[in-house]
């Protein structure tokens, strides 16, 4: 079935017919045949079952990193509510039939009691899964983590050991992370398995590490990841916050208070130096044996615009994440913006997930994006920048 035929067939039906069609054959066609950047052509704000589900399983964390914006709202009571491991296992069993990729983050996901039981169930269900961790608890859980062939591990790395510890605001964090990764591979060898290659290293440019990226990349070599992603900062300005809330208070009856935690002093960044770093990586001067890239992909002459020109959206015309990625919060509610969970709804303990996914609140948000394309808060969001290649959106 061609893309044009599929969209035409969907538009022929009324809003009452869409849920029935998604339960029939169209969900399969859309998920497998329709490019994600055409998802917003589906009428009435509906979406196929998500390709990925990102579970922010806890807001608790054992670090206080300098660039983390989550600390602004972590004290709120609802942010401290957590489902049990049994709740998550029940949810995963109900979602396995549409085969989503399951990713865990936080906070620090390894602080969640029962996380290993959840991984065991995901392995039994035959789903692929991943975890983004600061690595401090890898050694503790290494015997179990090493046994899961379907588990992809991503870590955060902010520089050579002393710089990493400074950004993480705790001495010894680098060594603890390295010991944990070594422990996982020790048990892999003990179990007769191939060493587990680290899936990805995430690094964010901050004022504390901006002059240390050559050493950071050399440090990454010792971990031999499949890829390393260097991110420009996720941030907002007072103007972006005000512009967002003007729209969302009127359209969604929601105020995005979480944005306050992502304000940053951009004047601390050495733009000419970051431009030079960008060119070095683009020209492969570091000659690393793994994929090394920026998020977003910028030309050196675009770096200054990224930090200071909020009209510059790097070719992104809209955000498609709410059509193919679900974000679940520690309390079992659904939201669409990974770092900005103010608009949240549903409860996977009491309502079937796909009913929430295509419920009134979810469709209202998708229709809002179809109307406004990008909200002001979107323009420097890592979610927008990660999943939408400029080469696709420029056509």
DSSP string, 101-138: EEEEESS-GGGSTTHHHHHHHHHHHT--EEEEE-STTH
Query: From CA 191, how far away is CA 143, in angstroms rounded?
Result: 9
Sheet hosting strand 291-295, strand order edge to edge: 291-295, 227-231, 200-204, 151-156, 129-133, 101-105, 52-56, 325-328, 334-335
In terms of Cα–Cα distance, which of 61, 129, 132, 67 is closest to 95? 129
pLDDT per residue rounded down to tens, the chain (395 residues): 555 565 566 556 555 555 555 554 455 545 555 666 677 778 889 998 999 999 999 999 999 888 888 876 667 777 789 999 999 999 999 999 999 999 999 999 999 999 999 999 999 999 999 999 999 999 999 999 999 999 999 999 999 999 999 999 999 999 999 999 999 999 999 999 888 778 999 999 999 999 999 999 999 999 989 999 999 999 999 999 999 999 999 999 999 999 999 999 999 999 999 999 999 998 889 999 999 988 888 999 999 999 999 999 988 888 989 999 999 999 999 999 988 999 999 999 999 999 999 999 999 999 999 999 999 999 999 888 765 433 222 22
The predicted structure's pLDDT at residue 40: 72
The DSSP line for 153-190 is EEEE--SSHHHHHHHHTSTTHHHHHHHHHHHHHHHHHH
- The answer to whether the beta carbons of residues 64 and 71 sit under 8 Å apart is yes
The predicted structure's pLDDT at residue 70: 81
**Residue 46: CB partners within 8 Å, gap ≥ 6?**
18, 19, 22, 358, 363, 366
Handedness of CA 54, 59, 63, 66 (dihedral sign): positive
The predicted structure's pLDDT at residue 21: 55
Alpha helices (runs of H) in 191-270, residue ranges in sequence order: 213-221, 238-251
Query: From CA 121, how far away is CA 102, in angstroms rounded?
Result: 12
Cβ neighbour number for residue 309 with a 10 Å cutoff: 11
The predicted structure's pLDDT at residue 34: 64
The predicted structure's pLDDT at residue 5: 62
The predicted structure's pLDDT at residue 30: 57
Buried b / exposed e along 150-174 (16+ C-beta atoms within 10 A):
ebbbbbbbbbbbebbbbbbebeebb
Residue ranges of domains in the chain, CATH in brackets = 48-385 (3.20.20.70)
Pairing relationship of beta strands 200-204 and 227-231 according to DSSP bridges: parallel
- Diameter over CA atoms, the chain: 61
Polymer length of the chain: 395
The predicted structure's pLDDT at residue 36: 63
The predicted structure's pLDDT at residue 394: 25
Query: From CA 120, how far away is CA 364, in angstroms rounded?
Result: 36
The pTM for the full model equals 0.89
């Amino acid at each position: 079935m061609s893309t044009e035929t599929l969209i035409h067939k969907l538009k022929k039906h009324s809003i009452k017919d869409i849920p029935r069609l998604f339960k029939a054959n169209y969900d399969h066609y859309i998920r497998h045949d329709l490019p994600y950047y055409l998802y917003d052509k589906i009428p009435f704000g509906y979406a196929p079952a998500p390709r990925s589900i990102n579970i922010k399983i806890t807001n608790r964390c054992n670090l206080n990193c300098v660039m983390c914006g989550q600390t602004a709202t972590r004290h709120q009571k609802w942010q401290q509510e957590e489902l049990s491991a049994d709740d998550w296992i029940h949810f995963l069993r109900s979602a396995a039939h549409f085969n989503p990729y399951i990713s865990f983050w936080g906070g620090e996901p390894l602080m969640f009691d029962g996380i290993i039981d959840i991984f065991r169930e995901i392995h039994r269900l035959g789903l692929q899964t991943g975890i983004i961790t600061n690595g401090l608890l890898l050694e503790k859980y290494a015997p179990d983590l090493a046994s899961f062939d379907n588990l992809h591990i991503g870590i955060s790395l902010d520089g050579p050991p002393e710089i990493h510890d400074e950004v993480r605001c705790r001495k010894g964090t680098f060594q603890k992370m390295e010991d944990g990764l070594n422990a996982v591979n020790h048990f892999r060898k003990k179990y007769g398995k191939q060493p587990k290659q680290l899936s990805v290293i995430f690094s964010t440019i901050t004022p504390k590490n901006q002059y240390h990226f050559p050493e950071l990349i050399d440090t990454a070599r010792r971990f031999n990841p499949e890829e390393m992603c260097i991110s420009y900062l996720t941030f907002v300005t007072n103007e972006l916050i005000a512009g967002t809330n003007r729209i969302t208070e009127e359209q969604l009856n929601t105020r995005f208070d979480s944005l306050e935690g992502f304000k940053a002093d951009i004047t601390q960044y050495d733009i000419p130096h970051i431009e030079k770093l960008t060119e070095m990586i683009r020209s492969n001067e570091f000659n690393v044996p793994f994929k090394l890239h920026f998020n977003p992909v910028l030309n050196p002459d675009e770096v200054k615009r990224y930090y200071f020109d909020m009209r510059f959206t790097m070719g992104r015309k809209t955000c498609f994440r709410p059509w193919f990625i679900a974000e679940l919060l520690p309390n079992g509610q659904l939201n669409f913006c990974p770092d900005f969970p103010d608009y949240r709804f549903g409860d996977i303990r009491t309502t079937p997930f796909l009913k929430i996914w295509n419920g009134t609140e979810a469709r209202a948000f998708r229709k809002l994006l179809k109307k406004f394309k990008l909200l002001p808060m979107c323009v420097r969001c890592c979610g927008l920048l990660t999943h939408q290649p400029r080469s696709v959106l420029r056509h």
